């Protein structure tokens, strides 16, 4: 079973992160691609633009966001790709840019993974 971790992309790179996947739809501001230390940018596993804009990191909309996002993930080819990648690596780190470390798409994605895998 793989170990799934979460980390802000702005935090320092660590070899212990294992396989690093950026799970945001938009490239993070101020990060150069050559310095990002990512193995994959899986932007299609991120919430749709509509859902991302509706949530806009407002914690009072968190429960509604999780339900809608998990619904999007159920039939997602990108999630199937991520699940396959997770199966191939001992440590996987999901990278995100949000400042809120408790209410972001990576947290919701990790919850979905824990229920599905």
Cα atoms in the 13 Å half-sphere on the side-chain side of 3: 6
Q: Indicate whether this model's pTM tops 0.85.
A: yes
pLDDT per residue over 9-56, tens digit each?
999 999 999 999 999 999 999 999 999 999 999 999 999 999 999 998
Distance CA 41, CA 45 (A): 9
Backbone angles phi, psi at 93, to 5 degrees: -115, 125
CA atoms within 13 A on the CB side of 108: 30
| Calpha distance 97→70 (Å, rounded) | 20
| Burial of 65 (C-beta count, 10 Å sphere; 0-12/13-18/19+) | buried
Whether residue 1 has pLDDT greater than 80: no
In this prediction, residue 109 has a pLDDT band, given cuts at 50, 70 and 90, of very high
Tokens read off for 95: 């990278």
Domain limits for position 72 = 3-116
CB 10 within 8 A of CB 32: no
Structural domain count of the chain: 1
Looking at every residue in the chain, the average pLDDT score rounds to 96
């Amino acid at each position: 079973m793989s170990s799934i971790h979460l980390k802000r992309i702005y935090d320092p790179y660590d070899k212990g992160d294992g396989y690093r996947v950026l799970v945001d739809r938009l490239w993070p501001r101020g990060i150069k691609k050559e310095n990002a230390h990512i193995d994959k940018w899986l932007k299609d596993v991120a919430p749709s633009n509509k859902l991302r804009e509706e949530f806009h990191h407002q914690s009072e909309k968190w429960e509604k966001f999780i339900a809608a996002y998990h619904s999007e993930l159920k039939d997602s080819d990108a999630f199937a790709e991520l699940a396959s990648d997770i199966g191939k690596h001992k440590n996987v780190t999901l990278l995100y840019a949000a400042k809120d470390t408790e209410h972001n798409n990576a947290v919701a994605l990790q919850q979905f993974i824990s229920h599905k895998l």
